[in-house]
Structure formats: structure tokens, C-alpha cells
């Protein structure tokens, strides 16, 4: 095989980035926007030692699950990868992504434990409670932009269909106001405005806006005052990011400008304060389903002491606290720990304790105090638990382990090691981000 070769390819499965995968002389060939079951005339565009990238030329056989993407930016954007596939079939394919990860990265047989149906959303649009928009000037006017797939280039958009409609409304009003005030953004010289961060709580409908700027100058102050006067949002912040080369959106300094100091979101009967930089699940409705699944997997009877490792701002620990005897949350990020303590106070949860630091360092200290755990919940970042934490768990096992994952590859690799001493009872996958290829999962395990 060489570049520019053309042939008919049968698509066998979905890839982790939403592409279709077929095989030509045992070499995996990845085709964007292809669906398992389709036969496609393709042309090879890039060749690697163990894989090839091809573009579709024409379809010989089309999947009955193919649909026209309703987003006008779908082909260019890349933030969504499976909008061309029906919601019902996406449910099947995402579960298969989980199974494929287990087959590829573990010695486990996925048929030896229960892999439940993927929990998806009946309405797979308008679910995201936060937007992060790059602000650019096109044809003399400020506009929201997205980054074009596979590049650093931006292109203008009117709205995003996976966002809460109220976010789109707020963004439109702020851009209109910024244009009226003739605020400068790239490629203007000496511009300040960089990003627009907008959050809307699903249940309370409170809204927060944060303008990320190079400098908090008179121009930005004027815009901020206009936003407050127009009552576009409930809370307004300015974040200053002086670094022109960084890919990080937020700088170290956030300035509260006006309105509420935070907005409130509700998960079940619990309320949580949200600030500009607070980590909070982007799909509120599915978060409730996910946390209910965690609660069931813990099998709590009011007698158990629970460890919530990687606890963040305490959402999971607080959510399951009413069924536990005691909950101990550990989190490395100091700001998150302080937010978790505030969240516990707001909800009058008295049987939860939060500690800042490394799990492997703090657990021995808690054990010395006579604290032992019946259940351990881990919700690590996309990189997984890491070797140090896994080795610690293997040497200091807790009877019941509940693993919440946002990355099927790292989940599978971690399960391969944890299965030395843990039995996998079941895995329940979730579609937290409809229209994308991402899958989340809750794994229920017990000591062998």
C-alpha cells in the first residue's frame, strides 16, 4: 500500500475518535465519517507503519443508521464526531468501544462479566452547561469562533447545538454588546479580549460569564459595566491571562466584577457552588444518572466508611453521603478541597471529611488513626489511576472498589492490573457527551 492508492474498504468498527475502521491486507485503515457496515471507495492520504488514513470517495453501501448532521459546522469543527450516526446505533457502537478497549488492553474476557447497555440521552442535543469560545474579529466584527479540526485556525459560528440554549443566547448578547462598544480582539493590535466562558446551571438556570483577557484595561472595564447594566448574566468575572504563548485558557488571577459571587447547581437534593474555574460535570442530567449508578455500586447500608479518592469539589462524596456512615474525600488540588468543604457546609452534610494531598501519602496516616474503609470510589483524570496509586491499592486492598472512568483505554489498562485481586462484577457505560465518541463508565468490583 502507498499514498493515493484507491480501493473498496468494508468498515468493520468504530474508532475511539469516531472514525470508521476497515482492514486492507490486515492493515487498519481509518476513514472519517464512515459507519460500521458500509462499503466505501477510499483513497489513502497518509500511511504509517501500523495504520493508514484514507478519505472517502464514494459509497458502495450506505448504513441504514446514517443521518444528515444538523450542525452546519460539523465537517469543519471536529468537536462532535458521530452526529452522522443515529442516536440508537451510537448507543450500540459506544458500548462496543468499551468492549474493544478491554480486548485490546487486557487479558480479561469481557464475556466473563456483565457489560450493561449504555445509558444514553433520549434528546442528545442542548446538554452542555458550559461553553469556552475563542473571540476573533472577522470582516470588522467580533464573533464567537471554533478551532478547525486538525489545525490552529479558527472559523466563525453563530451558535453550538450541543450547548444549553440559554448559553447561546447569552453569548449572542455579549458579542453584540462588545461590537457596539467596539471592543478589540485578534487580529486588532493591542487587543485585550481573548475568550468568553459561559456557564448555565441546568436546574436553577443561574448563569455565570467570565471574560478572559490579556489585561484588565479601560476598554474591558467598559464592556463589563455594560454587561452588568444589561443584566445579561447572574455573575460576572474577569480572568487575566498575560501569557500570549500558552494554550491554557485561564490565567492565575480571577476578578469578581458583579452579580452573584457564584452560581448554584443542583444534583438531586444537593446544591453546589460554581465559580469560573470550578470543575463540574458538563452534562448535568447524565451526571445524576452516573452518580446514581455509583451509589448503587457502593451498596451502602449506613454502616460503611467510604473513601472518595480524587474527590474534586466533593460532588460524588456528598451525593452518596446520606447512605454512608462516614465519607473521607482526598484531593490533590487545594482550591478544590476548599470548595468541597464549602459544598458540604451548604448541604449540611456532617459525615464527610476532606483532605488535601496525595492518596498514597494520606491513606497510611488515616490508617494510623484507626480509620479503615469498606468502600473506595476512584474517579481519576483521563490518564487513569497511575502506577503509584494502583500499586498502593493492590498492597492495601479495600473490600469494594467503584471505578468511575472517562477514558476507556486507560480504564482497561487499570482493570488489567486491578483484576489481580478484584473481581469485576459489572461495567455500566454512559453517554455523557452525545454527538461525540466519548464514553464514560462505572465499574463495580469486589475483592476476590
List the CATH number of the domain containing 162.
Answer: 2.40.50.1070
The residue written with cell numbers 466505501 in the block is 40
Residues 164, 304 within the same domain: no
Q: How far apart are CA 397 and CA 293, in angstroms?
A: 22
314 and 443 co-located in one domain:
yes
Query: So what's the pLDDT on residue 149?
Result: 87
Q: Residue 151's pLDDT is what?
A: 86
Given strand 154-157, what is the order of strands in its sheet? 154-157, 141-147, 130-138, 193-200, 207-213, 235-240, 253-259
- Please check whether residue 90 lies inside any domain of the structure: no
Are 256 and 296 part of one and the same domain?
no
- Determine, yes or no, domain membership for 365: yes
Q: What is the pLDDT of residue 247?
A: 84
Query: Is residue 209 assigned to a domain?
Result: yes
Shared domain check, 214 and 135: yes
DSSP alpha helix (H) spans, 255-330: 284-298, 315-320
Regarding whether 109 and 32 lie in a shared domain, the answer is: no
Closest CA to 344 of 360, 328, 359: 328
Residue 308 in 3-state DSSP?
Answer: strand
**Residue 83, domain member (yes or no):** no
Alpha-carbon distances of 276 from 26, 129, 244, 344, rounded to whole Å: 48, 12, 20, 19
263 shares a domain with 135: yes
Question: Does a structural domain hold residue 1?
Answer: no
Closest of 149, 148, 145 to residue 171, by C-alpha = 145
Residues sharing a CB contact under 8 Å with residue 152, sequence separation 6 or more, in sequence order: none
What is the per-residue pLDDT across 192-202, written as a single tens digit (0 to 9) for each? 999 999 999 99
Looking up residue 352, the CATH number of its domain turns out to be: 3.40.50.150
Taking residue 25's Cβ as centre, other Cβ atoms within 10 Å add up to 7
- Residue 92 resides in a domain: no
CA angle 208, 209, 210 (to 5 degrees): 125
Report which of 274, 300, 276, 306 is spatially closest to residue 379, judged by C-alpha positions.
Answer: 306
Q: What pTM was estimated for this model as a whole?
A: 0.94
- Domain termination residue (choose one: 223, 245, 267): 267
Domain co-membership, 106 together with 212: no
Distance (Å, whole) CA 19 – CA 37: 13
Last residue within a domain, chosen from 238, 267, 296: 267
Cα separation, 283 vs 200, whole angstroms: 11
Helix (H) or strand (E) holding 152: none
Do the domain assignments include residue 153?
A: yes
Domain boundary (239, 267, 295) is at 267
* Residue numbers of the domain that contains 352: 99-122+281-447
Residues 161 and 215 occupy one common structural domain: yes
Length in residues, the chain: 448
Does one domain contain both 307 and 229? no
The backbone region for 137, taken as left when phi is positive above 0, alpha when psi lies in -120 to 50, beta otherwise, is beta
CA–CA gap between residue 294 and residue 172 (Å, rounded): 38
Structural domains of the chain, count: 3
- Same domain? For 295 and 423 the reply is yes
Low-confidence ranges of the chain (pLDDT < 70): none
Q: Distance between CA 398 and CA 306 in Å, rounded?
A: 10
State the pLDDT at residue 202: 97
77 in catalytic set: no
The domain that contains 48 carries what CATH number? 2.40.50.140
Same domain, 397 and 430: yes
pLDDT at 245: 83
Residue 17 placed within a domain? yes
Give the integer Cα–Cα distance in Å for 50 and 54.
14
Same domain, yes or no: 255 and 336: no
Amino acid at each position: 500500500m502507498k499514498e493515493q492508492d484507491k480501493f473498496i474498504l468494508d468498515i468493520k468498527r468504530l474508532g475511539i475518535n469516531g472514525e470508521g475502521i476497515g482492514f486492507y491486507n490486515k492493515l487498519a485503515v481509518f476513514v472519517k465519517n464512515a459507519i460500521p457496515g458500509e462499503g466505501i471507495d477510499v483513497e489513502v492520504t497518509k500511511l504509517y507503519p501500523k495504520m493508514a488514513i484514507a478519505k472517502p470517495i464514494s459509497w458502495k453501501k450506505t448504513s441504514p443508521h446514517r443521518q444528515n448532521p444538523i450542525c452546519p459546522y460539523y465537517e469543519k469543527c471536529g468537536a462532535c464526531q458521530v452526529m452522522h450516526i443515529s442516536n440508537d446505533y451510537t448507543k450500540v457502537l459506544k458500548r462496543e468501544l468499551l468492549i474493544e478497549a478491554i480486548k485490546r488492553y487486557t487479558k480479561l474476557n469481557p464475556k466473563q462479566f456483565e457489560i450493561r447497555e449504555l445509558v444514553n440521552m433520549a434528546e442528545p442535543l442542548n446538554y452542555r452547561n458550559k461553553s469556552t469560545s475563542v473571540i476573533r474579529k472577522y470582516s470588522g466584527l467580533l464573533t464567537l469562533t471554533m478551532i478547525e479540526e486538525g489545525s490552529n485556525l479558527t472559523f466563525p459560528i453563530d451558535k453550538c447545538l450541543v450547548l444549553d440554549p440559554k448559553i447561546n443566547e447569552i453569548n449572542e448578547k455579549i458579542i453584540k454588546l462588545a461590537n457596539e462598544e467596539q471592543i478589540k480582539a485578534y487580529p486588532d493590535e493591542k487587543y485585550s479580549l481573548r475568550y468568553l466562558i459561559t456557564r448555565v446551571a441546568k436546574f436553577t438556570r443561574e448563569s455565570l460569564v467570565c471574560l478572559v483577557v490579556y489585561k484588565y484595561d479601560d476598554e474591558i472595564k467598559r464592556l463589563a459595566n455594560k454587561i452588568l447594566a444589561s443584566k445579561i448574566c447572574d455573575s460576572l468575572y474577569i480572568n487575566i491571562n498575560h501569557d500570549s504563548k500558552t494554550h491554557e485558557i485561564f490565567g492565575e488571577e480571577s476578578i469578581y466584577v458583579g452579580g452573584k459571587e457564584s452560581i448554584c447547581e443542583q444534583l438531586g437534593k444537593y446544591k453546589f457552588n460554581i465559580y469560573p474555574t470550578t470543575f463540574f460535570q458538563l452534562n448535568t442530567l447524565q451526571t445524576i444518572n452516573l452518580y446514581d449508578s455509583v451509589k448503587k455500586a457502593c451498596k451502602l447500608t449506613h454502616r460503611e466508611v467510604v473513601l472518595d479518592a480524587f474527590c474534586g469539589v466533593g460532588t460524588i462524596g456528598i451525593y452518596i453521603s446520606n447512605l454512608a456512615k462516614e465519607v473521607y474525600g482526598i484531593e490533590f488540588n487545594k482550591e478544590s478541597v476548599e470548595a468541597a468543604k464549602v459544598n458540604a457546609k451548604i448541604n449540611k452534610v456532617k459525615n464527610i471529611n476532606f483532605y488535601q494531598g496525595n492518596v498514597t501519602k494520606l491513606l497510611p496516616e488515616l490508617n494510623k488513626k484507626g480509620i479503615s474503609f469498606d468502600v473506595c470510589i476512584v474517579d481519576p483524570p483521563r490518564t487513569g489511576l497511575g502506577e503509584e496509586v494502583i500499586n498502593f491499592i493492590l498492597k492495601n486492598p479495600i473490600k469494594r472498589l467503584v471505578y468511575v472512568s472517562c477514558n476507556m483505554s486507560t480504564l482497561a489498562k487499570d482493570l488489567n492490573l486491578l483484576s489481580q485481586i478484584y473481581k469485576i462484577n459489572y461495567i455500566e457505560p454512559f453517554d455523557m457527551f452525545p454527538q461525540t465518541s466519548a464514553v464514560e463508565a462505572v465499574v463495580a468490583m469486589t475483592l476476590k
